[in-house]
Every structure is written in C-alpha cells, then in structure tokens.
A and B are shown apart, each in its own frame.
Chain A
Amino acid sequence: MQAGEAAAARAVALDDATVAFRVADARVYTAVDKATLGVDDGEFVAIVGPTGCGKSTLLNVAAGLLKPASGAVRIFDAALNGLNHQAGYLFQADALFPWKTAIDNVAIGLEIKGVARAEALERAQAWLTSVGLGAFGNRYPHMLSGGQRKRVGMAQVLIRDPRILLMDEPFGPLDAQTRQIMGNLLLQLWTKDRKAVLFVTHDLEEAIALADRVVIMSAGPGSRIIGDWRVPLPRPRDIFEVRLDKEFHALHREIWNVLKDEVMKGYAQSAGAA
C-alpha cells in the first residue's frame, strides 16, 4: 500500500494512524498502533478483529469523530479536518431519534440540508420502500423490531447519498437469520452505486461474504493491522449461497488461522482483566 500505487481514487487512506486515550492516573492507552489502511472508491472493505481491538476506534478516526494522536487521515486525497462530511455512519447501537417516526428519521438528513419537507418526505418514503418498510413510516422506533430499526438506520444514512459508508458492527445485535437478510439487503443497495464501504465486524464469515477485501487486526492494546486478503468471490453474491462455495471455505480457513491466535489472545486478556 505505497503511495502512488493506487489506480482508483482513494476514498479513505489512514497513514500510520495511532490512536491513544488518556485513562486514569495520567496513563495513556494506545488503542490502535500505526494503522495504515486504504479503501478505494467503490471498494467494500471489512475489518475483522477480536473484541476490544479498536476496530470501532479506527472507524471513528475515518469518520472524523476521533483525531489520531499521530499519522494522517486522507479522504479522497484531501487531509481530513474535523468531521468527515463525505461519509455516512451506521452505528452499532441504535442511533435513531426516538421522538421521530421512521419516515421523519429518514427525512431528517435531507431536511437539515434545506430540502423542502414535502420533497424530503417523498424521498424518505421511497427509501423506506427500498429497505422493505414502506408501510411502517408512521411508526416510532420503539414500535419496530431490531432488524427493522437497522433498516431505517440504513435508509437514514443512505438518503444523504454519502460517497463513503462506515458501518460499525451494524448487524451485531440481530439474530443469525436477520443478519443474513440484512447482509443481502446491504449488498443489493450497495451494488446500485458502489460506494466505498468500511465495514467493521467480529464475524469473519460475514466479512468474507460481503467484502472485496478483509483486513485483520491484532488483539489490543496497541492493535495493528496484521493481514489483508482479497476476496476473489464473484459478484453479485448471495450471502446464503456464497457460504457454500469452496473458495469461501479455503479463504475462511486461511484467514482464521491468523485470526484464531489473536482471538485467543484477546480473550485471555479480557478474562485476565475481569
């Protein structure tokens, strides 16, 4: 990943980014150590790592919510200063506004840009329909299931048409079947305009099934990027079927061999700390 090597536009480029937090008694906790990572325009990159390895931290750096202690962040070849306004961020936790109905939650992204309310609502309705919730616009978030809330969240982010999509274990809290359905929905929406995607997950299978590249991080503290695999599976993919593919299994085994040790390390650390 040397500079000048990339042919396509670099949507996100982290260069030696180190993230550190000040913790109790003035000690410094290094969450991510010298991470170098690039996401090309139109590329779907998944980051996989053991629990607590700073995957989300990396995403927050790309979003501009966190400033790295050292190193550089470039978004479409411009240094990132403040929030990354080209990115849409789908959070792990529910981040819908509980006092707004589903359709208002989706429309808000347009309304704050000054789009007239009638038009914003119309486009929000179209987005709700495309995530399969056309009839649920007037429900409040608490009246929706976890999976439905994620769909609304996707529509909320995508209606703004961001060039980069950051996703932090978006399907984490969902049950296995719903995760697969959501994965397929995500791929189907992504295929339409191929945004650059940075997708964080702890589920290696999900990562391989969805992404063009899978990046592995080591256990924290001071996690580093320790592996980068290209996923050669053809698109369009179906998450249910791609898992039966032989190549899928070969790649899964190869990556898992690396990931396994880190997972055990991370597990040992969290067990020791508890």
Chain B
Amino acid sequence: MNRLTLLLCQMLVAVVFFGLWQLLSTVPLFGVTVLPPFFFSNPVDVASQVVAWFASGVIWKHLLITLWESILAFAIGSLGGVMVGFWFARQPRVAAIFDPYVKMINALPRVVLAPIFTLWLGLGIWSKVALGVTLVFFIVFFNVYQGVKETSRGLVDNARMLGMSERQQLRHVYWPSALSWMFSSLHTAVGFAVVGAVVGEYLGSAAGLGYLIQQAEGTFDVAGVFAGMIVLSAFVILIDLAVTLAERRLLVWRPTAAESRG
C-alpha cells in the first residue's frame, strides 16, 4: 500500500465514523433517533464548539495551563526518577531496603492520591503536577534502574581497561546508558504526565482541559465534553510529535530498525 492510499484509507475511517454519527444522531430511523442528541450530540455541534473556543480564544488559557502542568510533571518526575533509579542501581543495599515500599506505592492507583494532593497543594497547578509526578517518576525510575543494572559488562570492562576511574565510568558509561533507557520510556512518560495533569484537573481545578471537560459534563453539555476530548487528543498528538523530534536528535547514536543491517 503506498502512502497516498494509506492516507486515503485513514481519512475514510474518519469520514465514515463522523458521517454515521451525524446521520444517526440527526435523521430518525423508522421514527427513532438511534443516537439521541441529548446523550450523543452530533459532529457539527462538536465542531462548532471547538471553533467557538478557538475563535473566542478562551481555549488557549486552558491549553497553556495543561501544557505547563504536563511539562512540570514530566521534568520533575524524570529528574527524580533518574536520580533515584541511578542511586538504587549503584547501591543495591539501599534498593533492597526500599524495595517493598517502592512496589507498594507503585501498585497504588495514583488517582486516589488526587484528593490528598488537592488538600495539600490547593486547586492550583501544583496538585496536578504532583499527581503527574507520581506517574512519571515510577516509569522513569524503573527504566533507569534496570538500565544501569544491565549496563553491558563488556563496556564496563573496556572502560576499566582504558583506565577510567569510578567517577569517569559513571559519566561515560553508566550515565549515558541510563539516559538511553530513560529516553526509551520517553513517550510513555510524557503521555502519563498529560494524564496526570488532565485527571487532576478533572477532579478539582479552576482551569485546564480537564476542567473544561468536567464543566461541560456538569451542565450536560455533551457537545462540550466531546469537543474537549478532541482538543485533548490533538494536544497529545502534537506533544508526541515533539517528543519524537527530540528523540531523533538525542538518540542519533542508536540504530533504528530501518538502518540496522542484520
């Protein structure tokens, strides 16, 4: 299948989906509207809601807030994850002591922490950042921990024979190895940062995409809920694109599937 046909097929899926939605929610079938507008709204209303948000500019404030929360959650969570992961991997005794607690906290569904964070940090951005951090931290932490522990024996031996001190090994072998593992979890980590932000907003806030969706839901504005979801999806796709670009710059040294010769 060439690119053009693929693209056409992909677009066809969207056209059929939205077409059916519009049809079933506006044209009665044997006297019954299959998708009652009250519960399902319709694509035209949803689209006009999205357009209205962008035309009036109210959406930018919410987007910016969510973006800012995601970035902070990602940055703080990654930093913490890298540092603690590195520390645990290099100090097996510390890792052994904390092991049951790490597992316990990681097993906890993070959503239940949201009320606590709201209580502690208020309705502003920091309670959402905290929620995102708890999600991002563990992903990065486990990856880095594993990455440092599994740093190739051969590379370490080579580094030692080249005369690297313990500190130089950290800098030239363990650290890049850990970072490469962190980057391999970049997409997931960024995704979870956004999830943390939006879920946090949804559960209690005064701004952001999650707030927008929650408000619409509260007034049975189904078109508003769907519009919020569409803006959110577009937002996530754009962020993912940015991550892919960053990855391409940062991981030039890594063979990609297309390049590697068996």
Contacts and interface: CB of A to CB of B under 8 A. Distances in A.
Nearest to A100: B253
A113 B157 contact: no
A91 B254 contact: no
A109 interface: yes
Most A C-beta atoms less than 10 A away, residue of B158, B159, B165, B177: B158
A95 interface: yes
Interface string A11-39: 00000000000000000000000000000
Interface of A: 63, 65, 83, 85, 87-89, 91, 93-101, 108-109, 112-113, 140-143, 156-157, 160
Contact of B255 (A95, A97, A108, A142): A142
Instruction: Provide the main secondary structure of the chain B interface.
Output: helix
Most B C-beta atoms less than 10 A away, residue of A83, A91, A97, A142: A97
Contacts of A112: 162-165, 168, 172
A87 B163 CA distance: 10
Contacts, number: 62
Most B C-beta atoms less than 10 A away, residue of A88, A93, A112, A142: A112
Contact of A108 (B157, B172, B259): B172
B157 A95 contact: yes
A101 B34 CA distance: 62
A257 B5 CA distance: 67
Contacts of B255: 142-143
A140 B252 contact: yes
Given A97-B176, A112-B163, A112-B168, A142 B158 contact: no
B85 to A, nearest CB: 18
Given A93-B154, A142-B260, A87 B161 contact: yes
A150 B8 CA distance: 48
- Sorting the interface of chain B by its residue count into under 10, 10 to 19, 20 to 34 or 35 or more gives 20 to 34
Instruction: Provide the main secondary structure of the chain A interface.
Output: loop
Given A108-B162, A108-B172, A160-B163, A99 B260 contact: no
Given A97-B155, A97-B173, A99-B176, A156 B253 contact: no
24 contacts: A83-B161, A87-B161, A88-B162, A89-B157, A89-B161, A94-B154, A95-B154, A95-B158, A97-B155, A97-B176, A98-B253, A100-B172, A100-B253, A101-B253, A109-B163, A112-B163, A112-B164, A112-B172, A140-B252, A140-B253, A142-B254, A142-B255, A142-B260, A157-B162
Q: Which 6 A-B pairs have the closest CB atoms?
A: A95-B158, A142-B255, A89-B161, A140-B253, A99-B176, A99-B253
